[in-house]
Structure 1
Amino acid sequence: MINRPNVWLTILICLFSLGLTQSPAETIFSDDFEAGKLKDRWQEVNIRNAEAGGLEARPQYVHSGKASLRLTSLANNGQESGSQVIRWFMPGYGHLYYRWYAMFAEDFDQGDLMHWTGFRGCRIDDRWSGFGRAGIKPDGTDRFFTGLEPWRDWGRYPAPGALNFYSYFPEMKPDRDGVHYWGNQFFPDSAFVVERGRWYCFEVMLKVNTPGQHDGEQAFWVDGRKLLQVNGMRWRDTEMLRLNALVFGVYIHQARRNNTCWYDDLVIATHYIGPKTE
C-alpha cells in the first residue's frame, strides 16, 4: 500500500529543490496592527498581561495609522523576562525579507544582554524545531536562527546599543568555555548605534543555502541604507529545513526594570521592500 503522506512530502521536497514554491515577487504576510486582535494575525502571543504588551493606540507611539504593537520586558528582580509574538509561514521559503518600523522607549536600558527580533528556520514537519536549545549548536537538520539585536558591549555603547546579527548555524564557533554555543555575532564595519525615542525603518534579508553548500546569505538595512551583507553561510544540510518563522520580542536576561519597544508596519516578502513612500 502506498503511504500517501510520505508521497506528498516527497513531492513537496522536490518542489522546494526546483524553487517552484516561491514566486518571484510575493508578499506573504503584513501587519499594520490595525486589525484589533493580535491572535487573529499571530499564532503565538506570549504576553503575560496588559502591562507586558498589546496593541498601542497612543498617537506618540504609533508610526502610521491608529495602532502599533507594544512589547515590554517587565522588571523581574534581575531574572529573565520577555514578551513576544510569533508568526509561522509553513512549510517555508528559501529567500525572504522582512521590513518593519520600531522605536525603543526613551528610558530603554537593558543593562547588557537582550534578544530582539529574528527569522527562524524550522523543519517542515515540526514548526517548533527552531525554538529552544539555547547554547547548543545546530546540526544542519534541526534549526537555524538569525536575530537582529542591539548590543551594548558591556557598556561600550549607550542603550540600547549597536546593531548586529546574532546567529545560530552548523559552523558557529563555541563560547570561550568550549562547551556552549551562544549565537555568533556579525557586525557592520562601522557601528550603528540605535537612538531611543525615534522611529527607524529596519529590514532583514535571509537566503538559505543549497543543502551542504556555503551559498547562504544575510543582510540588514536601516532607513533604506544597507549596513551589513554576510555571504558564504551554511544554514542547513537538508531540504527539510526551511525559513518559516518570525519572532518579534523584547527579552532581557537580567530584567531589573521595565523596558518597552514599539513595532509597526511589518511586511514579509520574497523581495526587497524598503521604507514606506506614503
Structure 2
Amino acid sequence: MLSCRPLLECVVIVASAVVNAAGLAASEVEANPRGLPQGPGLAQKVGDWARLRSHPDVVLVEDFELDTISQLQSRWTQISHPEIMSLASENAPGSTGTRSLLMTHTGGRGTGGHLYRRLERGYKQLFVRFYVKFDPDCAPIHHFFHVGGYYPPTPWPQGGAGERPRGNERLTVGIEPFGSDWRWDYYTYWMEMRASPPRGQTWGNCFINDPNLKVTKGRWQCLEVMIQLNDPPSERNGELALWLDGRLVSHLGAGFPRGKWTFDRFLPGQGGQSIRWNDEKGGPETFTVPPGGEPFPGFRWRNDERLQINFVWALLYITKAPEGHISRVWFDDIVAATRYIGPNPE
C-alpha cells in the first residue's frame, strides 16, 4: 500500500473575471486553454445505461447492480478485503440502478480495501469518471482513487512509494481528498516528478492547491480525470485534467497554466521566490520566477511507448482513525472511456 508525506497547505490565485469577446471569463479561458468539454458528455448523449455499456468508446462500466459482493470477483482483477464492502440501497444522481458499493472502515481494524481492474489493453488517452459520497463522520483519507499504467501489466497494484518512476515501468495519478482539509487534488507519480526534503524523496505531486475545492460530505460528487500520455522518448506533450460535477477544475499541459513549484507542489498563478530539490546537489535551492509564474513544462509521463494507461484502482486507505471509529464511503457508476464522459443524465 502507498504511503505519503504530511500534507502541506497550498494556495491558489483567483483570476479576475474579465469577460472577453467570446463571452467567457478570463479565469475560465486560462483554466481551459484547449477548450476541453464541460457539462454533459458521452453519458448524457447515450442516455441509456445498457447502450453506454456497449458503446465502442467505453472501456469499463461498473454500476454495482449485483445480488452479492462475491459477484465482483468476475468484474475486477483483484479485490482486497471484501469483508469491508457491502451493497447499499443508495445510488448516484441520475443513476438508472438502485445500488452502490459501500466501503466501511473501522478504526484499529486494518486500513481499508480496494477494487483493482487491469484493462484488457493499454491506452494513450483515457477518461475515468466515478461518483463518491463520504459520510459526514468519515475519518481523513490517506489515499483514494487511482488511474495509471504498469509495464508489464500486473493483476495487482504495485508499490514504489517515495520513488521516482523510471519512465518505462509505471505512472499513477491519484484523485484524492487531501487530509483533514478535505481538498480535492492529484497525487501523481511520473518520471520527472519533483522531490522534497529531507532526502529528496518523491512523494505524489499535486497541482491544484485550491483551498476552496472541497469535498462536500454527505452528498454525491462526480469526479472525472483525463490522462493523455506524451510521445516518447523525450516529448513533454502529456496532459492531465480533472472535472468536478461536470466542471473543469484543472488542466495542465505543455505551456499551461503558469505558476511556480515549491518542492513537489505546483502553485497555479503564483510567481516570485520559489524552492526546489536539486538531485545533483542533494539539497534544496531557491530561485525566482516572473510575476504570475512561468509556463508549466508539460508531462513527460514515459520514455517507452510500451508504458500505457492500463488500470483503474478504487481504494479506501485510512491510517489515522480513532479506535472503533466508523468511516463510510459510497462508490457508484464508474466509467472509463476514450472520450469525455460527464455526469449522469438527470
Partner of 1:143: 170
Query: Of 150, 160, 163, which aligns to 1:122?
Result: 150
1:27–1:268: 8 Å Cα contact kept in structure 2? Answer: yes
Q: Tell me the TM-score normalized by structure 2.
A: 0.65
Amino acid at match of 1:277: P
Provide the rounded CA distance (Å) in 2 between the counterparts of 1:81 and 1:130: 16
1:74–1:259: 8 Å Cα contact kept in structure 2? Answer: yes
Provide the rounded CA distance (Å) in 1 between the counterparts of 2:251 and 2:56: 21
Provide the rounded CA distance (Å) in 2 between the counterparts of 1:189 and 1:76: 32
Partner of 2:321: 255
Partner of 1:86: 116
Structure whose CA Rg is larger: 2
Structure whose residues are more often strand by fraction = 1
Higher deviation after alignment, 67-76 or 204-213: 67-76
Q: Tell me the TM-score normalized by structure 1.
A: 0.80
1:141–1:241: 8 Å Cα contact kept in structure 2? Answer: yes
Provide the rounded CA distance (Å) in 2 between the counterparts of 1:126 and 1:276: 31
Higher deviation after alignment, 267-276 or 188-197: 188-197
Query: Of 49, 66, 70, which aligns to 2:102?
Result: 70
Query: Of 228, 234, 237, which aligns to 1:215?
Result: 237
Partner of 1:230: 252
Q: Displacement of 1:236 after TM fit?
A: 0.6
Gaps of 5+ in 2: 1-54, 254-297
Deviations 1:21-49 (A, max 9, x none): xxx96101101111332112111111252
Provide the rounded CA distance (Å) in 1 between the counterparts of 2:105 and 2:148: 21
1:187 aligns with 2:215: no
Q: Displacement of 1:109 after TM fit?
A: 2.3
**1:188–1:229 Cα change, 3 Å:** farther
2:169–2:307: 8 Å Cα contact kept in structure 1? Answer: yes
1:30 aligns with 2:77: no
Q: Displacement of 1:149 after TM fit?
A: 0.4
Deviations 1:50-107 (A, max 9, x none): xx11322x3xx32232211112333127xx6121101111331110001111100121
Higher deviation after alignment, 231-240 or 66-75: 66-75
Partner of 1:198: 219
1:129–1:142: 8 Å Cα contact kept in structure 2? Answer: no
Q: Displacement of 1:182 after TM fit?
A: 0.8
Gaps of 5+ in 1: 1-23
C-alpha RMSD of the superposition: 2.0
Q: Displacement of 1:188 after TM fit?
A: 5.4
SS in 2 for 1:245: strand
Amino acid at match of 1:71: M
Q: Displacement of 1:258 after TM fit?
A: 2.9
Q: Displacement of 1:195 after TM fit?
A: 1.2
Q: Displacement of 1:265 after TM fit?
A: 1.1
Q: Displacement of 1:129 after TM fit?
A: 8.4
Count of residues paired in the alignment:
239
1:122–1:143: 8 Å Cα contact kept in structure 2? Answer: yes
| 1:89-108 alignment runs, 5 A limit | 89-108=119-138
2:139–2:320: 8 Å Cα contact kept in structure 1? Answer: no
Partner of 1:275: 343
> Which consecutive segments of 4 or more residues in structure 1 shift more than 6 A?
none
Provide the rounded CA distance (Å) in 2 between the counterparts of 1:210 and 1:194: 34
Amino acid at match of 1:228: S
Provide the rounded CA distance (Å) in 2 between the counterparts of 1:128 and 1:40: 13
Deviations 1:100-140 (A, max 9, x none): 11100121121xx61110102111x3326861111111010
